[in-house]
């Protein structure tokens, strides 16, 4: 590597706790100097601010491991085709990144640090743009897909059946990113909830998140006939094609969609594995798609499904919402030698991985999707950070923005 990762890490540590402010500064700088770039981004930028700097954290963390770093950047670069990011945009992003880092580093910024960041960004940008330009021309940046049907599965959950306009190859267990013209430029991940079908359709199970930009539009408004955009299939929480080990799947909420895709794939093959599914819902009323569960049970002799939901009045807060799942896992098995798939909200995998390991599961056999990348805000703020946090970047020097 042309730059010293230790210099980057040390300088990132200086600015990391001010990342929220730095991100605002970065985008203000980028859009002030390159007004045309604003149109690529969604109207509401809060989430994206978080993700850009969370991605930088990932990059800085991976610098000691160039192979991992390259894999991450190549995937990010290929995915940026759907945002219509082109090579000519990268220098502008780099200049604003360095400006933001410089601004928030204060006196600790040195020519040596600036050189290291410039070199690091050159490698990052070259890897991302190289991966994007290496995608074969016949592979689209996104797929148009029509909403074929929409079914309300529970009060806050709809199942959308989508018909991509051109073949959309994927492996059961993968997820896709979805965008709707109802909330332009906003992309969010959703699991594909079926094994590939002969008619090419695919399902997504969407739960409305209160105040959520895309989930609200999909659950409340998406109608048959309208077009959505699909990003490339992503994720490697798929079945190990060589495994004949028994399989435990824990599916919580709309995580059932991903598990259903895996079960459909298993049902199409020989019945040579024991499969246990722990099906968790926040309440009995939210235990949805049960006819599909029945059909799979009828097709798979070696499948057992354990539905769990908090009794009425329980599970109101997150601390005990997954208690029934934990009880079922502890009651029904010792999981040594089992493949394990976990699908559900982001907190599920870390908490159940710890429990299942105690119950004998091999962590190397546990698969799940990556948690969305956000900052770790777990460390309490110091009093000066708290003070700074209350301000909405009044210290941005407008003359700096050019």
Ligand X SMILES: Cc1cc2nc3c(=O)[nH]c(=O)nc-3n(C[C@H](O)[C@H](O)[C@H](O)COP(=O)(O)OP(=O)(O)OC[C@H]3O[C@@H](n4cnc5c(N)ncnc54)[C@H](O)[C@@H]3O)c2cc1C
Closest CA to 373 of 89, 76, 9, 97: 76
Is residue 51 within the footprint of ligand HEM (CB under 6 A)? yes
Q: In this complex, which beta carbon is closest to ligand HEM, that of residue 89 or of residue 260? A: 89
| Residue 105 or 215 with smaller CB distance to ligand X | 215
| DSSP letter assigned to residue 172 | T
- Does 205 help bind ligand X (rule: CB under 6 A)? yes
| Cα–Cα distance, 272 to 274 (Å, whole number) | 7
d(CA 352, CA 328): 12
List C-alpha distances in Å: 70 to 58, 375, 401: 12, 21, 32
For residue 42, state whether it binds ligand HEM (rule: CB under 6 A): yes
| CA pair distance 116, 220, nearest whole angstrom | 48
Stretch that binds ligand X, among 6-14, 203-211, 267-275, 349-357 (CB under 6 A): 203-211
Do the Cβ atoms of 341 and 308 come closer than 8 Å?
no
| Nearer Cβ to ligand X (4/47) | 47
Site for ligand X in 47-66 (CB under 6 A): 47
Can you tell me whether residue 91 is helix, strand or coil? helix
| Shortest distance, position 126 Cβ to ligand HEM, whole Å | 10
- Residue 180 in contact with ligand X, rule: CB under 6 A: no
3 in contact with ligand HEM (CB under 6 A): no
One of 29, 150, 188, 282 touching ligand X (CB under 6 A): 188
Single residue of 169, 181, 347, 372 touching ligand X by CB under 6 A: 372
Q: Among residues 47 and 362, whose Cβ is nearest to ligand X? A: 47
Given 18, 21, 81, 89, the residue binding ligand HEM (CB under 6 A):
89
Residue 314: CB atoms within 10 A of its CB come to 13
What is the distance between the alpha carbons of residues 260 and 84, in angstroms, rounded to a whole number? 33
* Contact window for ligand X (CB under 6 A) among 51-59, 60-68, 82-90, 182-190: 182-190
d(C-alpha 399, C-alpha 33), whole Å? 12
């Amino acid at each position: 590597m042309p730059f010293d990762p230790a210099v980057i890490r040390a300088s990132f540590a200086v600015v990391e706790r001010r990342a929220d402010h730095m991100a605002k500064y970065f985008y203000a700088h980028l859009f002030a100097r390159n007004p045309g770039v604003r149109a690529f981004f969604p109207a509401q930028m809060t989430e994206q601010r978080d993700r850009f700097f969370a991605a930088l954290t990932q990059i800085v963390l991976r610098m000691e491991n160039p192979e991992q770093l390259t894999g991450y950047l190549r995937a990010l670069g290929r995915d940026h085709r759907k945002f219509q990011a082109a090579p000519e945009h990268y220098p502008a992003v780099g200049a604003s990144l360095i400006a933001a880092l410089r601004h928030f580093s204060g006196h600790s910024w040195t020519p040596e640090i600036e050189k290291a960041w410039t070199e690091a960004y050159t490698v990052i940008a070259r890897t991302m743009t190289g991966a994007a330009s290496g995608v074969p021309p016949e592979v689209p940046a996104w797929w148009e897909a029509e909403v074929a049907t929409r079914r309300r599965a529970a009060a806050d959950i709809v199942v959308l059946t989508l018909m991509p306009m051109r073949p959309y190859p994927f492996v059961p267990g993968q997820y896709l990113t979805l965008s709707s013209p109802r909330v332009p430029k906003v992309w969010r991940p959703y699991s594909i909830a079926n094994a590939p079908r002969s008619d090419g359709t695919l399902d997504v199970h969407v739960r409305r998140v209160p105040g959520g930009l895309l989930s609200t539009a999909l659950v409340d408004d998406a109608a048959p006939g309208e077009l959505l955009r699909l990003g490339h299939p992503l994720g490697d929480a798929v079945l190990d094609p060589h495994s004949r080990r028994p399989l435990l799947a824990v599916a919580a909420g709309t995580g059932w969609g991903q598990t259903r895709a895996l079960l459909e794939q298993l049902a199409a093959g020989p019945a040579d594995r024991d499969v246990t599914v722990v099906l968790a819902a926040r309440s009995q009323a939210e235990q949805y798609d049960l006819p599909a569960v029945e059909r799979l049970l009828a097709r798979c002799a070696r499948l057992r499904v354990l539905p769990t939901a908090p009794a009425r009045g329980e599970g109101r807060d997150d601390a005990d919402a997954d208690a029934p799942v934990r009880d079922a896992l502890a009651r029904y098995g010792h999981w040594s030698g089992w493949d394990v798939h976990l699908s559900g909200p982001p907190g599920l995998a870390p908490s159940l991985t710890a429990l299942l390991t105690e119950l004998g599961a091999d962590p190397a056999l546990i698969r799940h999707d990556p948690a969305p990348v956000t900052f770790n805000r777990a460390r309490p703020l110091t009093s000066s950070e708290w003070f700074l946090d209350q301000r909405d970047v009044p210290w941005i020097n407008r003359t700096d923005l050019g």
